[in-house]
Amino acid sequence: MSTGKPLAVVTGGAGFIGSHAVDLLVDRGFRVHVIDNLYGGRERNLERHAGNADVVVEIRDIRGVQPDDALFGGARYVLHFAGIGDIVPSIEAPADYMDVNVQGTVRVLEAARHAGVAKFVYAASSSCYGLAAVPTREDHPIDPKYPYALSKWMGEQAGFHWHRVYGLPFNAIRIFNAYGTRSRTSGAYGAVFGVFLRQKLAGKPFTVVGDGTQTRDFLYVTDVASAFVAAAESGIAGRFWNLGAGKPQSVNRLVELLGGDTVHIPKRPGEPDCTWADISRISAELGWSPKVSFEDGVARILADIDYWRDAPLWDPASIEGATKAWHRYMAKEASRP
């Protein structure tokens, strides 16, 4: 193994954002230890590091991480991306989300604490804000609307508790809408990019929710990874930031860039018309800014579209079946005062 290089641990490092973080850390001269159970990740996401002694990959679950886990020994940074990321299924399997995203995070926090890491950076979610006022600042009230959002916020709060009680240097980044190459291709009905890309490969119409005028603060994945590394390398601890491009794009604009026919399906209760991160804090405190335009990011994805060929192919009927519980429970939640 190489010596003299600092070590970083990346949980979920074979996944979407995690694998890009591994790339960036290696390019910056780090050794990287990856832990991933391949639930949402793929070993091919790390293929550029095959044969590189500086990258050690262990295929296992974060819930099995022990306080004295050897994978964390000597680590300078921990970037924690591992967790269940599909939103819609959290309505039907809330206990699983709490187990992985909360208790799994606690396991990683304990390993980082015992290893004496210099910084722990947690991948939090903007879904903690619920149906938020926009642009959304960090002082916006917390109002998670579904179990995924709650579990990610509870994991974040555990991190800040470890910071206060045990002195673990901890930061959190509340990601708005990350997109890019290597995004999930799991069997669950999920993010718009994976759904649309598989539909495009099959020559099927894009299933646009509502009228497509809803906007999302899409941020390309390499810009997400650079923010996490900046948060790790900063002298700041005990802080959280919102992360987006600060320039929301409509679903209709995405369809225009991808190119194809559309079919419209019912709007889902509890989902915002607009997500929009106020990124003034992270820009000022970390000197971070987005580099990849939406048009360039979509072009990069289209150049690698075969990645999504084995993803599930969704149509209006299968989406209706996958979202029945969401409509049932979220309609009740939305009706409450």
Complete DSSP assignment for 95-111: HHHHIIIIIHHHHHHHH
Q: What are the backbone dihedrals phi and psi of residue 39, each rounded to the nearest 5 degrees, phi first?
A: -65, -45
167: number of Cβ within 10 Å: 12
Catalytic residue among 122, 129, 146, 148: 148
Q: Distance between CA 181 and CA 301 in Å, rounded?
A: 5
**What is the length of the chain?**
337
Q: Distance between CA 13 and CA 21 in Å, rounded?
A: 7
Residue 86 in tokens: 């599909």
Half-sphere exposure of 183 (CA within 13 A, CB side): 29
For the chain, the first-to-last Cα distance in angstroms comes to 59
Contacts of 303 (CB under 8 A, 6+ apart): none
To the query of whether residue 39 is one of the catalytic residues in this protein, the response is no
Q: Is the dihedral of CA 252, 256, 258, 264 positive or negative?
A: positive
Catalytically annotated residues: 148
